[in-house]
């Protein structure tokens, strides 16, 4: 499938970018009906900015400079110029405004065309530091959730959830690593489901 026939998407990331890298490699270097054309980052120190050249994807640094409205307008200017249809959040550490989300709302879908991954079995442990919250709570089982983005914090319609058991031998780092490995698999599966229209 040529790029001209593919759905154009962008990834928003703020940090190391392991999930962003996973998404870009999956969509752009494997058989897929979607092409991630750009990566948007708000953090000038993010490691993902050092990887975009080898990933063969356009990158734009759009830092926060005191105004959410101005930052989001700058992001939308980039995305609209590239005709981006879908957004994948991958460790993006800012809450998107209602107006921004509505810009990607699809009436037929009944959802925004924005996906996010959360490192817990929602609705448990919403917000930041979910792995730490789950580990400190002593859960027997944790997991990851890929969901549509709505106007709440981690409240959008769930696309896929996958779980893993907490082991007696786990420390926090081993617990988190198993979760992150599951994140990469789950995000790929969620993208496939959405792009193939296989949602329930």
Taking the C-alpha atoms of residue 166 and residue 169, their distance in angstroms, rounded to an integer, is 8
Q: Reduced to 3 DSSP states, what percent helix, strand and coil does the chain have, rounded to the nearest 5?
A: 35, 25, 40
Complete DSSP assignment for 55-94: HT-EEEE----S-HHHHHHHHHHHHHHTT--EEEESS--S
Find out whether the peptide bond into 4 is cis, omega within 30 degrees of 0. Answer: no
Compute the chain's Rg from CA coordinates. 17
Assess whether 118 carries a catalytic annotation. Answer: yes
In 3D space, the residue among 158, 91, 155, 88 whose CA is nearest the CA of residue 129 turns out to be: 91
Looking at 29, 35, 103, 118, which residue is catalytic?
A: 118
Complete DSSP assignment for 153-165: SS-SPEEEEEEEE
Q: Which two tokens stand for residue 88?
A: 């994948």
Q: What positions carry a catalytic annotation?
A: 118
């Amino acid at each position: 499938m040529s790029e001209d026939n593919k759905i154009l998407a962008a990834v928003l990331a703020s940090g190391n970018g392991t999930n962003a890298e996973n998404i870009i490699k999956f969509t752009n270097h494997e058989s897929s009906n979607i092409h991630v054309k750009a990566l948007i980052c708000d953090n000038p120190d993010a490691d993902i900015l050092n990887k975009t050249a080898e990933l063969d994807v356009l990158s734009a640094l759009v830092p926060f400079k005191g105004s959410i409205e101005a930052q989001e307008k700058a992001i939308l200017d980039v995305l609209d110029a590239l005709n981006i249809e879908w957004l994948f959040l991958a460790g993006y550490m800012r809450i998107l405004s209602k107006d921004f989300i509505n810009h990607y709302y699809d009436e037929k879908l009944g959802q925004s065309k924005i996906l996010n991954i959360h490192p817990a079995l929602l609705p448990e442990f919403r917000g930041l530091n979910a792995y730490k919250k789950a580990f400190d709570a002593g859960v027997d089982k944790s997991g990851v959730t890929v969901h549509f983005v709505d106007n709440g914090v981690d409240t959008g319609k769930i696309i896929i959830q996958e779980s893993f058991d907490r082991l007696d031998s786990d420390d926090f780092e081993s617990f988190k690593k198993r979760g992150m490995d599951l994140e990469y698999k789950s995000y790929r599966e969620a993208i496939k489901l959405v792009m193939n229209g296989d949602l329930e």
